[in-house]
Amino acid sequence: MKTIGRILKFIVFCAVVFCVVYVFNRARETVILKKIIERLSADSRIAEVVVTDVRRDPQERKTYTTIKFQEYDSQMQPLEPKFFTFSSNIIQFQSLVIRFDDFSVKSGHPFRGKSAYLFMKVFALKDKDTEVFQLSRISEVPAGYRADEKTSVFERKLWQEFWRYALEPQTAKLAGIKNAQIEAPGTRFIPGMLYTLKIEHDGGMRVDATVLPQKSK
């Protein structure tokens, strides 16, 4: 009887441990999901761009423009800045923009109440050539959007599902996605200006330009 009692106690102990671990993992997954959604959704400023250098190369007869690309998360915290140099100052940002159904947007749905976006490439068209830098790759967890320092299996799976929902029309409809499309807003970038990339709840992306204060030049 004592042996049976010990076995029962051990089984109960294992069950309790399993429940605690399960609840902990579910809570952690919920936190990760919330972080990912927060970082994907925005309704105003999502990135800023300034020209940091303009250099003329007499031999190549080209003028090179270097920009600083500063992306922000939904809490307006800056992500790691990136620098790109082009032989043109007309630069575009290829982005995947996902719009949710009108009802979700109007009702302020906690997960689908805003358009979601993802920067994919930054590029410049020059005659027949295209100068391209990659920002994010399809099917990967985008750098700067990781909820944890080390990408978890759960987070990787979430992103695989994200790409599937975003890029497969029939699946997207089931998730309340109105449409997902590639946009490439751009403009001419010159020194002394602050270029702000913005996204609207139910609209696309746009680039606003303002003059930098003298002390910030």
CA–CA dist 199, 156 (Å, integer): 26
Query: What is the model's pLDDT at position 107?
Result: 53
Alpha carbon distances (Å) from 213 to 191, 193, 216: 12, 9, 5
- The candidate with the shortest Cα–Cα distance to 137, out of 154, 159, 155, 152, is 159
| Helices 153-167 and 2-40, axial angle in degrees (round to 10) | 50
Q: Which residues contact 57 (CB under 8 A, 6 or more apart)?
A: 63, 64
- DSSP letters, 27-86, are HHHHHHHHHHHHHHB-SSEEEEEEEEEEEEETTTTEEEEEEEEEEB-TT--B---EEEEE
Query: What is the model's pLDDT at position 80?
Result: 87
Query: What is the model's pLDDT at position 192?
Result: 95
Q: Where are the domains of the chain?
A: 2-216
Query: What is the model's pLDDT at position 120?
Result: 87
Query: What is the model's pLDDT at position 10?
Result: 46
Query: What is the model's pLDDT at position 37?
Result: 61
Query: What is the model's pLDDT at position 90?
Result: 95
Q: What is the pTM of this model?
A: 0.68
Query: What is the model's pLDDT at position 114?
Result: 62
pLDDT in tens, the chain (217 residues): 556 555 555 454 455 545 555 555 666 666 666 666 665 554 455 899 999 999 999 988 889 999 999 988 766 788 889 999 999 999 999 988 877 765 555 555 555 556 677 888 999 987 778 899 998 776 677 655 666 566 667 677 767 777 777 677 777 666 677 777 888 999 999 999 999 998 766 567 889 999 998 764 4
